[in-house]
Amino acid sequence: MKILIYDVHASESGALEILNDLYKQISEYEDKSIKWIFAVSKPEYKEQENIITLRYPWVKKSWFHRLYFDYVVTRKILKRYKPDKVFSLQNKGISFYKKPQCVYLHLPSVLTDHKFNLRRDGKILWLHQNVLKKMIFASLRKVDKTIVQTQWMKDALIEKAKVKDDKIILLPPDISTNNIGKFSDDKENRINFFYPAASYTYKNHLTVLKACKYIQEKGVTDYKVTFTIRPDENKHTEMMYKYVMEHNLKIGFDGSIPREKVFKNYQQSVLLFPSFIESFGLPLLEARLSGSFIVASDSPFAREILDNYNNALFFEYLDYKALGDHMIQIMTVQKYEKINPIEIQTHKKESNKLTEIVLNL
């Protein structure tokens, strides 16, 4: 049997982590008679006896290069390797491939009710919602299985894309092997706030800035917020950095940090998570497992992940005053009801391994 892993999209953040995890699963899979072909962009995976890696880094140059790959190069790959199945991790299947296909959907922007603005949010998010969404929905109605990470995405896929319930697999991320330490509750850690997120507008950093300005106007100045973005990434981050400087806010733009440091921050800070669109929101689960205090947007994914977690506070995602009040509450209230972190309860899954899902198509 030959299986094509189709993912030239993934090159950073969560999408790349999923692809890396899949490669690891396949590398450790006992049955070496199954041939796996990885079609990727920038990742460099070691080829093995039953694993072939096809790299196309030029795909990232432009939309034209991506379209050329999708409709010309992909046909050549299928003709040469003749896979029996395809597992696409880039939100839609291959329209001209007629054998079994499974798709991993990790693009929440096509399912949200929030309307993206071309000027404010950028062309990529606008295109996802107004152009690619129709193509993705049509594709997912045809493929054999679609994998999503949360119940809210499954419900939205059924309602908005009209995909049948039995064709959707709910598979939350498996982070049981991550070395996440426990939160240490003391005064210093309660005044440190941490937000690990990319710089997309829907990540909602601006509401954090407004909340910090608000609490400073109320006389609270002994705090610190850490972002994992750089001030020079794009016009949006440049605008935010200017806002921070103008109002003398205590916010650090640390840029991307190693996973080990992210886990360390859960032990030593309060998680802020104002993002209002996520396929899962992994930091919420990681911080929950650490026992940290969490302030999150009142969104379906956050409510799902933090269900029955007593150390979480919620706010309407644009209400910076409510966010600021929650921050003050955590910094000033002397005693909280402490709970032992527990594993999040999820809906029944058909499998906990991506490889098993693909092989069972």
10 domain residue, yes or no: yes
For residue 98, give every residue at least 6 positions away whose Cβ sits within 8 Å of its Cβ, in sequence order, or none: none
For residue 91, the enclosing domain spans: 2-172+349-359
Same structural domain, 13 and 156:
yes
339 domain residue, yes or no: no
- Predicted confidence at residue 180, as pLDDT, reads 79
Same structural domain, 23 and 101:
yes
Across 125-139, 153-167, 176-190, 245-259, least confident range: 176-190
Q: Is the pLDDT of residue 341 over 70?
A: no
181 domain residue, yes or no: no
d(CA 8, CA 358): 18
343 domain residue, yes or no: no
Residue 292: pLDDT band (50, 70, 90) is: very high
Same structural domain, 221 and 158:
no
For residue 311, give every residue at least 6 positions away whose Cβ sits within 8 Å of its Cβ, in sequence order, or none: 291, 292, 293, 294, 336, 338, 339
Distances in Å between the Cα of 251 and the Cα atoms of 99, 242, 283, 332 are 51, 12, 19, 19
Same structural domain, 246 and 204:
yes
Same structural domain, 231 and 293:
yes
More confident residue, 251 or 129: 251
- Of 213, 196, 347, nearest in space to 259 by CA: 196
Same structural domain, 159 and 77:
yes
341 domain residue, yes or no: no
Residue pLDDT, tens place only, 113-150: 878 777 777 777 777 777 888 999 999 999 999 999 88
For residue 72, give every residue at least 6 positions away whose Cβ sits within 8 Å of its Cβ, in sequence order, or none: none
More confident residue, 52 or 109: 52
DSSP 8-state secondary structure symbol assigned to residue 9: S
Same structural domain, 163 and 214:
no
Q: Is the pLDDT of residue 336 over 60?
A: no
Tokens of 322: 């409510």
Same structural domain, 149 and 298:
no
Distances in Å between the Cα of 172 and the Cα atoms of 63, 88, 346, 353 are 31, 17, 8, 11
Residue pLDDT, tens place only, 252-267: 999 988 888 999 999 9
Q: Is the pTM of this model over 0.75?
A: yes
- Look at residue 147 and give its three-state secondary structure: strand
- Look at residue 91 and give its three-state secondary structure: coil
218 domain residue, yes or no: yes
Averaged confidence pLDDT in the chain: 88
Same structural domain, 96 and 206:
no
Total structural domains in the chain?
2
For residue 86, give every residue at least 6 positions away whose Cβ sits within 8 Å of its Cβ, in sequence order, or none: 3, 4, 6, 93, 94, 97, 99, 100, 101, 102
Tokens of 53: 């890696």
167 domain residue, yes or no: yes
d(CA 23, CA 21): 5
Residue pLDDT, tens place only, 18-77: 888 889 889 988 899 999 999 999 889 999 999 999 999 999 888 899 899 999 999 999
230 domain residue, yes or no: yes
Is residue 266 within 8 A of residue 290, CB to CB? The reply is yes
Distances in Å between the Cα of 97 and the Cα atoms of 100, 109, 152, 177, 358 are 8, 26, 29, 36, 16
To the nearest whole percent, how much of the chain has pLDDT over 70? 92
Q: Is the pLDDT of residue 10 over 50?
A: yes
CATH number for 303: 3.40.50.2000
Q: Is the pLDDT of residue 176 over 70?
A: no
d(CA 148, CA 251): 34
Same structural domain, 41 and 15:
yes
Across 112-126, 128-142, 267-281, 284-298, least confident range: 112-126
- Tell me the average pLDDT across 100-121: 84
Residue 346: pLDDT band (50, 70, 90) is: very low
Same structural domain, 20 and 84:
yes
Same structural domain, 162 and 98:
yes
